[in-house]
C-alpha cells in the first residue's frame, strides 16, 4: 500500500472529480427543474448551471433522459429511505401503529422536496426510458406486501398482492395529492387529521 502513495490518490482524485461532476449535474438538473420547469431544462442550461461544459455532461449522461432518470432515481431513493426507516421503527408494533406511521412517513417523504416531486410527477413526459420509472410504487408495493405477510395474524384473510396494491396506491395518491395540491390541508392539525383519515382508510380495509 505504501508503494503507491501517489497512484492511488491520483486515481481516487479522478474518481472523486468524476463523482463531483456527476453530482453537480444531477443537482443542477433538480435546481432548474424546480426553479424553471422541465421546459427550460435544456442540456446546455443544465451544464451551465452545474458549471460543467456540455461536452462533459454528455461524457457522463448519454442523453437528457439519462440525466432525468438519474435524478428520479436519486429522488426515489431518498423517499424510500424515509419509508424504510419508518417501517423499521414499527416492525414490532401493532398494525394500527405501523400503518399510521407509514402514512406519516409517506407525507414526510413527499415533503422532502415537494416542488421537485411535483415537477417530476407532472411535467416529465413518461416516454422512452421514463416510461417505466414507477420506482417508488413498485418498490413500496413489494415492501408493504412483505410487511403485510409478516402481520398476517393481525389482518383479515387477504390476497396480499391485491391488498398491497390497493393500500399503497391509495396512500400514495392521498399523500401526494394533499402535499402537492392541497397545502391548506397540511397545517399542523390538518396533517394530523389527514394521517388519521388515511390510516383509518387503510385499517378499515385491512381489518
Partner DNA sequence: TATGAATGAGACTTCATTCAT
Partner DNA sequence: TATGAATGAAGTCTCATTCAT
Does 58 help bind DNA (rule: CB under 7 A)? yes
Does 21 help bind DNA (rule: CB under 7 A)? yes
Does 37 help bind a copy of itself (rule: CB under 8 A)? yes
Residue 44 neighbours by CB distance under 10 Å: 10
Does 60 help bind a copy of itself (rule: CB under 8 A)? no
Does 73 help bind DNA (rule: CB under 7 A)? no
Nearest to a copy of itself of 12, 177 (CB atom): 177
Does 68 help bind a copy of itself (rule: CB under 8 A)? no
Pick from 33, 71, 87, 194: which binds a copy of itself (CB under 8 A)? 194
- Quickly list DSSP for 11-70: HHHHHHHHHHHHHHHHHHHHHHHHHH-GGG--HHHHHHHHT--HHHHHHH-SSHHHHHHH
Q: Which does 106 bind (CB under 5 to 8 A by kind): a copy of itself, DNA, none?
A: none
CA 29 to CA 59: how far, in whole Å?
Answer: 16
Backbone angles phi, psi at 195, to 5 degrees: -60, -45
Amino acid at each position: 500500500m505504501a508503494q503507491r502513495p501517489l497512484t492511488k490518490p491520483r486515481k481516487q482524485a479522478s474518481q472523486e472529480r468524476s463523482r463531483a461532476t456527476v453530482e453537480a449535474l444531477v443537482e443542477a438538473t433538480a435546481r432548474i427543474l424546480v426553479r424553471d420547469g422541465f421546459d427550460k431544462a435544456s442540456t446546455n442550461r443544465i451544464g451551465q448551471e452545474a458549471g460543467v461544459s456540455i461536452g462533459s455532461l454528455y461524457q457522463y449522461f448519454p442523453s437528457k433522459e439519462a440525466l432525468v432518470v438519474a435524478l428520479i432515481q436519486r429522488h426515489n431513493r431518498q423517499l424510500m429511505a424515509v419509508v424504510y426507516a419508518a417501517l423499521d421503527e414499527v416492525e414490532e408494533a401493532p398494525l394500527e401503529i405501523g400503518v399510521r406511521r407509514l402514512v406519516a412517513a409517506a407525507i414526510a417523504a413527499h415533503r422532502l422536496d415537494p416542488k421537485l416531486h411535483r415537477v417530476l410527477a407532472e411535467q416529465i413526459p413518461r416516454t422512452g426510458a421514463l416510461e417505466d420509472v414507477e420506482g417508488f410504487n413498485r418498490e413500496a408495493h413489494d415492501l408493504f406486501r412483505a410487511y403485510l405477510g409478516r402481520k398476517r395474524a393481525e389482518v383479515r384473510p387477504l390476497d396480499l398482492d391485491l391488498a398491497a396494491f390497493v393500500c399503497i396506491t391509495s396512500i400514495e395518491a392521498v399523500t401526494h395529492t394533499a402535499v402537492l395540491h392541497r397545502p391548506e390541508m397540511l397545517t399542523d392539525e390538518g396533517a394530523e387529521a389527514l394521517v388519521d383519515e388515511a390510516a383509518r382508510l387503510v385499517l378499515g380495509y385491512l381489518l
